[in-house]
Amino acid sequence: MSTDICVLGMGYIGLPTAAMFAANGFRVHGVDVNPEVVATVGRGDIHIEEPGLKTLVRGAVTSGMLTISDQPVQAELFIIAVPTPLTADKRADMEAVDAATRSLLPWLKRGNTVVLESTSPPGTCRKRIQPALEAAGWVPGETIYLAYCPERVLPGRILSELITNDRVVGGVTPECARSAARWYGKLVEGEIFLTDATTAELVKLAENTYRDVNIALANELAAVCERCGANFWEVQRLANRHPRVNIHRAGPGVGGHCISVDPWFLVEMFPDHTPLIRAARNVNDGAPARVVSAVPADVETVTLLGLAFKGNVDDCRESPALTIASLLEASGRQVRIFDPLVKRPPVPTAGTLEAAVQGSDLLLLTTPHDLFAEIDPGSVALLARRRLLMDTHGFLDAERWRAAGFEVRQLGTGSFFEAGPAPG
Rank residues 120 and 208 by Cβ distance to ligand SAJ and give the closer one.
Answer: 208
CB of 165 to ligand SAJ, least distance (A): 8
Number of residues that bind ligand SAJ (CB under 6 A): 19
CB of 107 to ligand SAJ, least distance (A): 27
Interface mask toward ligand SAJ for 191-220; x: CB under 6 A: ----------------xx--x---x-----
Instruction: Give CA–CA dist 366/310, Å, rounded.
Output: 9
228 is catalytic: no
Rank residues 108 and 280 by Cβ distance to ligand SAJ and give the closer one.
Answer: 280
Q: What residues between 240 and 279 interact with ligand SAJ by CB under 6 A?
A: 248-249, 251, 254-256, 258-259
Query: Catalytic residue among 125, 149, 176, 258, which?
Result: 258
Please answer whether residues 294 and 416 qualify as being in contact, where contact means their C-beta atoms are separated by less than 8 angstroms: yes
Contacts for 18-23: CB closer than 8 Å, 24+ residues apart = 18/60, 18/66, 18/79, 19/53, 19/56, 19/57, 19/60, 19/66, 20/56, 20/159, 20/162, 20/163, 20/187, 21/186, 21/187, 22/60, 22/63, 22/65, 22/66, 23/56, 23/59, 23/60, 23/65
DSSP string computed for 223-275? HHHHHHT--HHHHHHHHTTSTT-------S---SSSTTTHHHHHHHH-GGG-H
Rank residues 56 and 213 by Cβ distance to ligand SAJ and give the closer one.
Answer: 213
CB of 308 to ligand SAJ, least distance (A): 9
Rank residues 38 and 305 by Cβ distance to ligand SAJ and give the closer one.
Answer: 305
Element (H, E) at 28: strand 28-31
CB of 376 to ligand SAJ, least distance (A): 25
Write the CB contacts of 43 (distance below 8 Å, at least 6 apart in sequence). Answer: 61
CB of 355 to ligand SAJ, least distance (A): 26
Rank residues 54 and 152 by Cβ distance to ligand SAJ and give the closer one.
Answer: 152
Query: Catalytic residue among 204, 225, 310, 316, which?
Result: 204
CB of 254 to ligand SAJ, least distance (A): 4
Reduced to 3 states (helix: H, G, I; strand: E, B; else coil), residue 190 is coil
**Is 400 exposed, middle or buried, given 0-12, 13-18 or 19+ CB atoms closer than 10 A?**
middle
343 is catalytic: no
Q: What residues between 140 and 159 interact with ligand SAJ by CB under 6 A?
A: 151-155
* CA distances (Å), origin 407, targets 265, 304, 324, 401: 42, 16, 21, 8
| By the rule CB under 6 A, 281 interacts with ligand SAJ | no
Q: What residues between 16 and 55 interact with ligand SAJ by CB under 6 A?
A: none
Return residues touching ligand SAJ (CB under 6 A): 151-155, 207-208, 211, 215, 248-249, 251, 254-256, 258-259, 309-310
Q: Which residues carry out catalysis?
A: 204, 258
